[in-house]
């Protein structure tokens, strides 16, 4: 187990380094620079700013500097903010995105599994069709449309929740729901097909033949195996949700870090692009590792340490 974890850590670091290097050079290949905007500045000022942010140095030197500061977890200043460093942006934005993401993840997993299981149990009956219609809507309606509709009807129309901003649990309801809809639909579809497959298995027949109650068969025997494919995708879904969604955060005015990913690229805020990429890759690598561990708990046949038969 330990040697496996050490090996995985090594791989993770190499992956991270590759991501950092690729992003760094690709980002500088893209035309434009952080100081281009509508009210353009005189070239003298431009030079001062390039110097101020050390962008006048050779690229390789900038790269080495970046790696060095990365070793001490210093992600540098943001070019677009004199107030917040990239570290500040992540420290302040991530907890917000994380909370919103966890809320959405809980909704998505709970209702996704419920809907999928339900659909499988009532295979080819109206309950099944209804669940799958919901799932198809969930997959095909983008978050910003759902979000806009929620704001329009529930917030402005009925005044049930605030239309935007962040702070109380009321603020979290609409964005969590809007954010959870797509992964929920995805999980429901996955759950349905895997549940259907499991229900065909001989051991389910055996369990039923033993005279176990239907609910026990489902919960104790079928669900556990049917969950495997869901758990597989959960890592990616979770990483996506907790690192923030640009659209939902932008739409609901939530101070998370989703906006940072997208905006930093548009504004060529190099340190912020790097910071968000490093952070996102780190989270993804970590979650995939966790998922590997969870696998062994759900299915003991999967061994961590390779072939020791």
The residues of the shown chain that bind another protein, judged by CB under 8 A, are 30-33, 35-45, 47-49, 51-53, 80-84, 88-89, 92-93, 99, 102-103, 106, 109-110, 148, 151-152, 155-156, 159, 162-169, 171-172, 219-220, 223-224, 250-253, 255, 259, 266-268
CB of 261 to another protein, least distance (A): 14
CB of 288 to another protein, least distance (A): 21
CB of 69 to another protein, least distance (A): 19
The tokens of 229 are what?
């494919």
Alpha-carbon distance of 69 to 2, in angstroms, equals 29
The tokens of 42 are what?
């005189």
The tokens of 15 are what?
């992956």
Helix (H, G, I), strand (E, B) or coil at 22: helix
CB of 31 to another protein, least distance (A): 4
Q: In terms of CB distance, is 80 or 192 closer to another protein?
A: 80
For residue 105, CA distances in Å to 25, 34, 115 come to 34, 35, 15
CB of 274 to another protein, least distance (A): 17
Q: In terms of CB distance, is 259 or 278 closer to another protein?
A: 259
Alpha-carbon distance of 275 to 47, in angstroms, equals 24
Q: In terms of CB distance, is 44 or 308 closer to another protein?
A: 44
For residue 212, CA distances in Å to 115, 197, 202, 215 come to 23, 20, 14, 8
Q: In terms of CB distance, is 148 or 232 closer to another protein?
A: 148
């Amino acid at each position: 187990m330990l040697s496996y974890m050490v090996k995985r850590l090594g791989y993770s670091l190499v992956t991270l380094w590759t991501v950092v290097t690729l992003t760094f050079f690709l980002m500088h290949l893209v035309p434009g620079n952080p100081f281009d905007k509508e009210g353009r500045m005189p070239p003298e000022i431009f030079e001062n700013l390039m110097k101020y942010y050390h962008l006048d140095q050779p690229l390789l030197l900038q790269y080495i500097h970046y790696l060095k500061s990365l070793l001490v977890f210093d992600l540098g200043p943001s070019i677009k903010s004199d107030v917040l460093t990239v570290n500040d942006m992540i420290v302040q934005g991530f907890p917000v995105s994380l909370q919103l993401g966890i809320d959405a993840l809980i909704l998505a997993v709970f209702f996704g599994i419920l809907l999928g299981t339900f659909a499988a149990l009532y295979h080819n009956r109206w309950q099944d069709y209804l669940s799958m219609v919901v799932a198809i809507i969930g997959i095909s309606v983008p978050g910003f449309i759902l979000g806009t509709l929620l704001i329009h009807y529930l917030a402005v129309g009925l005044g049930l929740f605030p239309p935007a901003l962040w702070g109380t649990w009321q603020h979290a309801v609409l964005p969590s729901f809007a954010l959870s809809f797509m992964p929920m639909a995805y999980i429901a579809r996955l759950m349905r097909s895997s549940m259907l497959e499991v229900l065909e298995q001989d051991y389910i027949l055996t369990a039923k033949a033993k005279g176990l109650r239907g609910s026990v068969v489902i919960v104790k025997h079928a669900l556990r195996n049917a969950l495997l494919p869901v758990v597989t995708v959960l890592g990616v879904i979770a990483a996506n949700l907790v690192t923030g969604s640009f659209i939902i955060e932008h739409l609901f005015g939530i101070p998370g870090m989703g906006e940072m990913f997208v905006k930093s690229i548009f504004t060529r805020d190099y340190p912020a692009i790097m910071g968000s990429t490093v952070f996102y890759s780190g989270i993804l690598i970590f979650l995939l590792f966790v998922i590997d561990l969870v696998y062994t708990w759900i299915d003991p046949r999967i061994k961590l340490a390779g072939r020791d038969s």
